[in-house]
Amino acid sequence: MGLGTITKKRTWLVTGGAGFIGSNFILAQSLDPELTIINLDKLTYAGNLKNLAGIKNHHNYIFVHGDIGNESLVQELLQTHRPQAVINFAAETHVDRSIQGPGAFIDANVVGTYRLLEATRSYWAALPLNDKETFRFLHVSTDEVYGSLKAAEPPFSEESPYAPNSPYAASKAASDHFVRVYHQTYGLPTLVSNCSNNYGPFQFPEKLMPLMILNGLQGKALPVYGDGQNIRDWLYVEDHGEALRLVLERGRVGETYNIGGDCQKTNLEVVQTICSLLDQVAATASHVPHASLIAFVEDRPGHDRRYAIDSTKIRQELNWRPKETFDSGLRKTVHWYLSHPEWVSAVQTGAYRDWVKQHYGQL
C-alpha cells in the first residue's frame, strides 16, 4: 500500500528544504491542505529562507534550523510530529566547492545521511504495523554518481554502475549506498531518486544558468569551462518536484528511479541560448549581443564530459513526463531572475563574489 492510498492528514519531514530543489518542492506541496511539512535546514550558503517567505506563516508549514547530523534533534522532530515520510534533500552539492574542500561534503552527505537514517530507523521500528508499512524514506540524489559518458554511449539507467569522478559525486554515491543498505539490512522502506541537472527559480547563482543570466544582465563576462562541449541533461525543477511526489506516493520500496529531462545540451549551447533570450529582454543594453561576453576559462579538474538520464522506468511505472521543454523552462527561469532583483541582491554577497573570483579568475 503506497502513500497515495492514505486519506487522513499527513506530515512529511523535509530536510534541506531551504535549498534550490527543496524549496521548490515545498512550495508546490504546500498547496495540499491535507499535508503538513516540517522543514529541517542547516542554512548553509545555499540555504535561503527567502525562498520560502511566501509560506513562512502557513499553518501547515514549520521551519526548524538544524543539521541532519544532529541525531537527537532529528529524533525529537520525528517523535513530536510523527511524519509519514522523510524526504532528504540536505546535501552539499557544488562540484567546484567539493574539489576545494571535500571534508564538508563527507560530513554533510555521508555522515549526515547516516545519522538521519539511524534516527529514522529508530522511529520507524517503533511504529504500529500499518504505519510501518506506509512509511517512506526518500533520498534525493544525482546522476553524477554514475560518472561520465562517452559521446556514443546510451544514457544512464538505474542499472548503470557507480563511477563518481569528484568528491561531491563520491559523497552522494556513498549516501545512496547507505540508503540501500538500510533497506536491505534493516527493512527501512527507502526510495532513491537520481536526477539530471536542475534549473529554475531560487537556484544559487554559482550554478551555470543563474550565473550566466545574472552576469549577462550586468554586462559581466560569461565564463565557460574548457571548450564548452561538456553535455548535461536539463530538467526544470518543478517537473522534478512532481516526479518526486510520484516516487514517494507510488514508487516501489527499495527501488531507484532516474529522473531526467531528456534534454541533452552542451554547456556552450545553454549559454548561447541564454544570450539570445537576454538579447530579447535587454535589447538596449550596451553589451548586446550578449554572446560577445562569453569567455572560455581553464577547465576544472575531473570535469565529466557528458551526463544523460534514461527515465524509462519512471515514465512506464509512474506515468511521469516533464511538462516543460528546454525553451519554455529557460524562458520562465530568465523571467524569474529578472522579476526578483531583491532576492538576487541578497544572495550576491561579498563571499559569493570572492568565490566567483577564485573559480573563474579575473574576468
Q: β-pairing, 35-41 with 190-195?
A: unpaired
Q: Residue 31 is placed in which grid cell?
A: 498547496
Query: DSSP alpha helices (H): ranges in 12-52?
Result: 20-29
The CA–CA distances, whole Å, from 123 to 111, 120, 249, 253, 339 equal: 19, 5, 20, 18, 43
Of 146, 168, 199, 236, the catalytic one is: 168
Amino acid at 133: E
- 92 flagged as catalytic: no
Contacts of 266 (CB under 8 A, 6+ apart): 228, 229, 230, 231
- 144 flagged as catalytic: yes
Q: Residue 362 is placed in which grid cell?
A: 579575473
Burial class of residue 34 (count of CB atoms within 10 Å of its CB; 0-12, 13-18, 19+): exposed
3-state secondary structure of 72: helix
| Number of helical H runs and strand E runs in the chain | 14, 12
Of 41, 71, 96, 144, the catalytic one is: 144
Of 143, 176, 238, 324, the catalytic one is: 143
- 168 flagged as catalytic: yes
Strand 256-259: give its sheet, edge to edge.
61-65, 35-41, 10-15, 85-88, 136-142, 190-195, 256-259
Name the residues annotated as catalytic: 143-144, 168
